[in-house]
Each structure stands twice: as C-alpha cells, then as structure tokens.
Amino acid sequence: MTWLMDMMMDPGFAAFALFAVFFGLLALGTPISVAIGVSSILIGLAFMPPDVIFFVAAQKMFSGIDSFTLLAIPFFILAGNIMNKGGIAIRLINLAKLLGGRLPGALAHTNIIANMLFGSISGSSIAAAAAVGGTMGPLQKKEHYDPRFSAAVNIASAPTGILIPPSGPLILYSLVSGGTSISALFVGGYIPGILMGLSCMIVAGIIAKRRGYMTEGRPGASEALRIFLEALPALAMVVVVIGGIVIGAFTATEGAAVAVLYSFGLSLIYRLASMREYVQVLASSAVMTCAILFLIATSGIMSYVMTIAGIPDIIAELILTFENPLIILLIMNICLLVIGFFMDLTPAVLIFTPIFLPIASQIGMDPVHLGIMMIFNLGVGSMTPPVGSVLFVGCAVAGLRIEQVARPLLPFLAALVITLLLVSYVPALSLGLPRLFGLM
C-alpha cells in the first residue's frame, strides 16, 4: 500500500489515477457529481489522512457555492423556463420566420434564427432545442422536410444560446477563473455566437437549395409589423438585462432577477400558462438548480485535489513543450473538443478552467478570449455523442434515434469547427466589442 501512496505523489500518475477512477465511475452509471466527489476524495487520501480529507472536502463543497454571483444561475434558469411556458418562444419563432422566410429552406433558417433569439433571452441551449424544435419540427414535416435534416438543424443551432448572452456557462467560467468580468464575457459572446448561427445557416442553405426546399411567402407590411411588435417586448428584455449589466446599473445576479420579473410579467400578459404550470416551472427550476449547485460543490473538491497533486502544472508543462502559440491553441482546442464528447458542459468548465487558464496566461491569451473559446468548444461537444445533452433533447423532440441524426449533423459539425478555429485564432472577434464598450 505504501508503494501505491508513493506513486500517487507523482503528478502524472495522480492525474491518470484521478481521471481513470472518475471515468470508471461514469461507466458504471454513477451520477457525474458523485463521481467527481468520490474520485477526488479517493485520490486525496494519498496526500492527507482520512479525517482531514473528509473535513477539507466538506469545507471545499460549502466554499465552492458560497458566492453571490452563483445566484444568477437559478434566476436565469427560472427566467428561461418561464419564457418556455409563457408564450414568448412562439413570438420569437414568428419573428425568425419573418427574418428567414425569403431564403431557400426558409423553415430551416427560421429554426436557426429562432434558436439564436430564444437562446439570447433564455441562456439555455437545452431549452432552445426543446421549445424551438418542438414547434418547428411539425411545420417542417408538413412542408416535406427530411426529419433527420430538421433535427440536425435544430441540434446544431441550439448551442448558440450559451454564447449569446445571458449565459450560465459564462457566469460559471467567470467564477472559476477568479473573477473574469461577466460584462466583458457577455458582450464578447455576441460575435462568436452570431458567427456560430451564421455557419449553420450557410450549411442549411446549401443543403436546402440542393434538395429544393422552398422559400416562404412574404407577409404584407401590416402583418410583418404585427409580428415584430408582438416579439418586441421579449427582445426588449435583452436590452434591459444585458444593457443594465454592461452600463453597471446592476450586477449579473440582479440582472437575472430582473429577467425573472420581466419574463413572468410578460407571460401573465400573454395568458398562455396556468398557475399550475407556473408551479411546475418553479419545481423543475429548483431541481435543475440543485443538480448544478451540487455539481459545482463537488467540483470544488476536485479542483483542490488537482492543485495539491500538482496536476495543472504537469499538464501545463506538457502542452507548453510546444513553444509555438498557434500549435498550443490547436492542442487546447482538440483537448476541449474531446472533453466535450465525454463530459457535460458544466463539469467540464469547472474542472478544466483551472488547468487551461495558466496555459493561456503563458501564451498571452486574454481570459475573456479563453472563456469564449472554451464555451464554444464545449457547446459543440453538447451536440455530439455519447453525452451530448442537446443531442439527446433534439432527438427526443424529433422522435428520432441518435444514429439517424448523426450523419446529417456532420456538415454542421465541420462548419462549426471551422468557425471555432476562426474565433480561436482571431482574438478581435471575442475582444473587439468588450474593448469598444470599455469593459476591458
């Protein structure tokens, strides 16, 4: 047993053992938060006595969620769920149909634009995939769109919601990275998020033109004005919440609370949800919040164990052996893409931000740029098997199996990876707007 403890003191072996136990527990069906906590405590036993590691683990769990900033996450989750139930999604879809109706494959473009609009308000790619996909799927089927193509369009464009603010993952990144400006991250996410949506539209347009999918008829001026005015209150929420955060009128947490009040008031005006449904929204939001907070708490243990084991340092030294910053950026992107295949976005941000942040600092990469690149990468991972949450939701909404959607997704994945590399190697795409608004 002593020789095993001695081997654990080596950072390389400790890293291997930590991730081997972690992924082994996942393979056995252990919930990811439990797998993080258990694997961290087991490896931590090599560095401190059992009574100490359990005390430290409890301390790190509490300190990990003892943050005022974290309150923004349950508020934004609640706001997104209220909008999903309260009739806001359908008004955004109508606006998206107005904007994309003249393009070949109009309903596919409508799906993409609606995901961008809904994501920019709800901050959730899963909510966008469910709300927009559930509405657009039947419409596309009625117009004889291939259901597999329709599902691929919805799945590929739903992650735009985690880049276009407000964004829960960007708030998490700000917390884990030691206080990177949330305002700068939010504003910096606009151009990469829009590019993400445009890349999906290019692919969808090419495929739609080849298959002869039709454009939509142009509505009259009065109808177009009515659609715009119906969607305007929902769009105004972005101006109120994000604008208020950027100018310093309130913090991200206070902005999230404003989003809840605004969306609830708007939903009451639309009168499309009953009080029973609002109670269900509160319950589902509470469950989702508890799951995320427990995940954050256990990730605090893993971050601490990795630090005392020297794992971030050994990984940084390994990657930095490639002296060319361009090669280092490519390696970081490949690592994050692979991580996204096997790990959900939230734990990946919590676990790997402390590892990649020192590397980014070494090559002169701004923390805001790193955050946008990480969330983009992990957003792509959310639409890939075996643990892609957006993929599962999109397939469930479309009534298709994953293997049926995998092939139609490939062109979208290729376009998104090209856009990801563009965002990675052109920092101005992420940093231009924050600098323009004086946030950096």
pLDDT tens per residue, range 35-66 = 888 888 888 877 778 878 888 888 888 877 77
- Identify each DSSP E strand in 290-367 by its residue range: none
CB 65 within 8 A of CB 198: no
Which ranges constitute the DSSP H helices of 247-388?
252-270, 275-309, 311-319, 325-342, 345-362, 367-381
pLDDT tens per residue, range 243-292 = 887 777 887 788 888 888 888 888 887 777 777 888 888 888 888 788 77
Cα separation, 94 vs 230, whole angstroms: 9
Share of the chain above pLDDT 70, in %: 93
pLDDT tens per residue, range 199-220 = 999 998 888 888 877 666 666 6
Q: Please say if the pLDDT value at position 430 is more than 90.
A: yes
Q: Please say if the pLDDT value at position 343 is more than 80.
A: no
**pLDDT band per the 50, 70, 90 thresholds, residue 1:** very low
Cα separation, 342 vs 279, whole angstroms: 34
Higher pLDDT, 99 or 41: 41
Residue 220 is classified by DSSP as P
Question: Of 22-36, 256-270, 371-385, which one has max mean pLDDT?
Answer: 371-385
Which ranges constitute the DSSP H helices of 86-220?
88-100, 106-122, 125-142, 147-157, 168-176, 182-188, 190-211
Q: Who's near 218: CB < 8 A, 6+ residues apart? A: 101, 102
Cα separation, 169 vs 299, whole angstroms: 14
pLDDT tens per residue, range 137-180 = 777 787 788 889 888 988 898 888 888 887 778 888 988 888 88
Q: Please say if the pLDDT value at position 14 is more than 50.
A: yes
3-state secondary structure of 87: coil
CB 374 within 8 A of CB 349: yes
Q: What is the pTM of this model?
A: 0.82
Q: Nearest to residue 389, comparing CAs of 319, 342, 327, 338?
A: 342
pLDDT number for residue 226: 83
**pLDDT band per the 50, 70, 90 thresholds, residue 2:** low
Question: Of 166-170, 338-342, 410-414, which one has max mean pLDDT?
Answer: 410-414
Higher pLDDT, 421 or 62: 421
Residues 188, 192, 198, 203, Cα dihedral to 10°: -170
Q: Nearest to residue 345, comparing CAs of 383, 319, 395, 304?
A: 383
pLDDT number for residue 387: 64
3-state secondary structure of 260: helix
pLDDT number for residue 122: 67
Parse the chain into domains and list their residue ranges.
70-157+191-288
Lowest mean pLDDT among 129-133, 287-291, 414-418: 129-133
Higher pLDDT, 22 or 357: 357
Share of the chain above pLDDT 90, in %: 12
pLDDT number for residue 9: 59
**pLDDT band per the 50, 70, 90 thresholds, residue 411:** very high
Q: Please say if the pLDDT value at position 331 is more than 50.
A: yes
What is the number of H-type helices and E-type strands within the chain? 22, 0
Cα separation, 341 vs 345, whole angstroms: 10
Output the average pLDDT for the chain: 81
Q: Nearest to residue 139, comparing CAs of 175, 90, 172?
A: 90
Instruction: Give me the mean pLDDT over the 113-132 stretch.
Output: 75
Q: Please say if the pLDDT value at position 12 is more than 70.
A: no
Q: Please say if the pLDDT value at position 422 is more than 90.
A: yes
Structure-block tokens of residue 254: 């206070």
CB 378 within 8 A of CB 349: yes
Cα-Cα-Cα-Cα dihedral sign, residues 416, 379, 118, 272? positive
